[in-house]
Amino acid sequence: MTFQRAISVLTLVIAVAALAASLTGILSRSGPGPWVYESVREQEVTVFGRGVYRHMSADVAVQGIGQDVITAGVAVPALLLALRRARRGRLGARVALAGVLMYTLVTYLFYLVMAMYSVLFLVYVLLLGCSFFAFGLVMWGLIPEAARIRSAVGHRATGGWGAFLIANAGMIAFLWLGVVVPPLLDGTVFPEAVQHYTTLVVQGLDLAILLPLSAVAGWLLRRRQPAGFVLAPVYLVFLTLLMAALVAKLVAMSLTGVPVVPAIFIIPAITIAAAVGALRMVPQGAGEAEGLSRP
């Protein structure tokens, strides 16, 4: 694995910091409890009032805790397992490692720019920075391996999984535009989902970066372009973890009485589909890579 030492150090730092940040989010409970706040847009918002997410709105805070459970219980172990196997030169493990690093990159990008300032600010900075560089280095090493990945995957319904990635982008884009566009048309401008935050961070970054990337990866895969065989499996691993986190968020919201139908049926289905796609598209049983370098 090219840049093995640097990737290993960065990944271990991510694992330790992500576990610490997640457990802090799950276990911290100090604070006065929920209270109501009137935002600058004259909207009443129930603030969580406890733990590290005490200044977040109540519904968003419980989503953060739900995602922390997935990060600590699934993403961190997956990160360490993928690193261990990638260090042995396994091509599929390097693809999986890139996908998990993409999850930590996106997760802590959202945490850094959306979560209210807390004692974890510098931890989020560290996690985002390490995830960005580790992901970049892993992807840099995978790009020359596109032909090997395509050969290992063969014809495993690549057109179908490409269509799935395109459809995923379209469905989520339609959902987010359904939040943003109606207030623009009726003149109210601000969706209720803005609450007391500055803007719609998740919707904005999804529409600008993540959904176009899903569509491009799917399109390239359907055309059997080399880049598609790198981007698509990495995105499918990332999407599996992200959707699993979303399932955890929905469960956490349901426990507070927030209606989650029909999402509680749709999101798990997407999660399962993404996981099957990742298993099909990530090269399996790839042996040791040649010419490993350890700068």
What confidence tens digit (pLDDT) does each residue in 187-222 have?
A: 999 999 999 999 999 999 999 999 999 999 999 999
pLDDT band, residue 87 (cuts 50/70/90)? very high
Which region holds residue 282: left if phi is over 0, alpha if psi is between -120 and 50, else beta?
beta
Residue pLDDT, tens place only, 3-41 = 899 999 999 999 999 999 999 999 999 999 999 989 988
Task: Summarize pLDDT for 142-163 with one digit per residue, the tens.
Answer: 999 999 999 988 877 788 999 9
The rounded mean pLDDT for the chain is: 93
What amino acid occupies position 217? A
**Greatest CA separation found in the chain?**
62
Rounded to whole angstroms, what are the CA distances from 226 to 93, 153, 279, 294? 18, 12, 19, 25
Residue 114 confidence (pLDDT) above 80: yes
294 pLDDT above the threshold of 60? no
Q: Is residue 259 scored above 80 in pLDDT?
A: yes
Tell me what pLDDT residue 285 has: 62
Query: Residue 10's pLDDT is what?
Result: 98
Confidence check: pLDDT of 246 > 80:
yes
- Which among 232, 247, 240, 234 has a CA at the least distance from the CA of 273? 240
The runs of H, that is alpha helices, within 143-262 are: 146-153, 158-186, 201-205, 211-222, 226-255
Cα separations in angstroms, 204 against 15, 110, 166, 277, 293: 27, 11, 18, 26, 38
The reported pLDDT for the residue numbered 291 is 32
Checking if the pLDDT of 278 tops 60, the result is yes
Q: Which of 211, 216, 217, 213 is nearest to 281 (CA)?
A: 217
Segment 170-183, tens digit of pLDDT: 999 999 999 999 99
pTM of the model: 0.94
